[in-house]
Structure 1
Amino acid sequence: MVVSRETLEALQNLGLTDYETRTYVALNSLISGTATEISQASQVPRSRIYSILKSLASKGFLEIGKGKPLCFTVVPPHEIFEKNRNEMKMKMERAEAELNVIYENQIPQVPAPIWIIHGPDKIVKKELEIISRAKESLFIMGGLMFPDEPLKLKEPLQKTFNRGVNTRILTSPACKTDDVEVSTMKILEELPVDIKFFPVPYIKLVVRDRQEMLIAFCKLSGDVALSSTAIGIWNQYAEFVDTITGIYDFIWNMDFFSQAFHHQRSLNDK
């Protein structure tokens, strides 16, 4: 039975040796068989087949029946991959959580915790990373939005809200980036977070827990943002972040923004 290299690599990534991989693939074509039949189908030497079959059974890839000669039955691939997928996911989540604790505890110890980020993809990736770490508060000012960015933000912001994080967003209803109309309002307005729409400048600001901040901006061509020129500044200087948070609080509470927000919503309702 010939299968693709990708399939062979996937099985080997699950911990199978070359002989075990060949045996499991062959047993899928037989469904059930004796050691002799499986040896012939897999071209695994007869002298090795029993040890290989016992190893596969211990790993959950096949079941051994009773009687003589012994009969070996394959465990369906969907069960194998679903089980390993779930186990891998749990291991990855535990590893991510453990390493994130180490990472987040170490970042403030870096002598100059300021980094420059180039390009929209890396900026959005860092933005999503910051959002995922929010524990108490999250402030976003989105005058600059890249194509598809609001869609990428929607689920993480919903999760942030579900965690009980005080989330506030001040963003433009729409943004022209690379001649693409980014309809932020249409995508984000149904989120159960505090959100105000106002034509704020072409700049992005993300602040979480008064500890970490990302500012991003880019060059303009008329009223169109050029994403290829985008630059982000990510820092964790507590004093600076706290100052920016205070400015954001002041802006958020201005009646002017509240009135403009309601005006914008009423225009869209007509």
Structure 2
Amino acid sequence: MDTAELRTALRNAGLSQYQSEAYVALLQLGAASATELADACAVPTARIYDVLRDLESKGYIETYEQDNLHARACDPKSVMEALKSRAAQLDEAAGEIESRWEEPAVDRHMLSIVKRFETVFNRTKELIRDAKSEVQLSATPEQFEALRPSLMEAYENGALIKVSLHPEHEEEITDVDEAQFRGAASEVRHRTLPTPFVAIIDRTGACFAPHADSVNQYGVLVDDYTLTYVFHWYFQTALWEVWDVVYSAQTTEPPIAYTDIRHFVQDVEPLLQDGKRVITHVDGVETDNREPVEVVGELTDIHYTAVSAPKDTLSFSELAGQVCLTVESEGETLTIGGWGALLEEIEANRITIESIS
């Protein structure tokens, strides 16, 4: 760095033009009288005394009397520390500017479009860690492994976790170790085709990014109940329903928990047709005021708009219309709907089969 560049750097650090001129000259002279210093730099003699007092107050120099006013540069250690601190602050500010340019404040928007996959992935980690009810995740094995600590937290909190595992490119996933899923997933299915990254958490948050080989790279962050429902249907129909199960922690004996009313109906309708008595525990909200509610009672009827022979196993798509449960609880007959319920009295967040007899 030459002398001119040093003076410019000092001005950027907060010194005035005259202050930087005088300080650089004094560094070269070591010590000098005020008039000698004025002659050695571009500071007018009439201004040199004010400039020296200002530099002394900033800790750059010290003045002393020797027939007339003299000055010498202070030990530069404190000056260097101040400059390094300022440089670090500016570097941090530059990073923050870049971050804010690339990553909008997602907590203020129902829908945010971002540029980096890392933004989507980090947001997914945050949402999963706080999940209490359900996580639906479409990820590669490497992405699952990176998210596993967050998934384990959600699993420990009682969330049901569905994972659709897909390859990064076109190669098959051949090494599936069930041990890696224990405590981090309720059920895992294997989709054989490369797929976008998708995460749906507790019905209000969704994170999406196209496959890494897609032409356009971006991310979508959703913080909205209705928009998240769209991603839920994409996950269920394209990434979940038709693919093979490779791991399941779900028990076949009560209590058996469901977060999706349609999967519940697929399993329970044959039981009702066989005359079984099914006791259910429903956690949800009242549809008219969104207040939390719990119901325990006997499932007495299932209504859905699909047409199917009595012994058929209904597909998820056949149950795409209205699905309604009727539960008798403490002398009341209550109607239970699923995600987005409007016509029923209760929207179920979780349905648990407590007993079958």
Q: Structure 1 length as normaliser, TM-score?
A: 0.49
Computing the radius of gyration from Cα coordinates, the structure with the larger value is: 2
Q: Structure 2 length as normaliser, TM-score?
A: 0.40
Query: 1 or 2, which has the higher strand percentage?
Result: 2
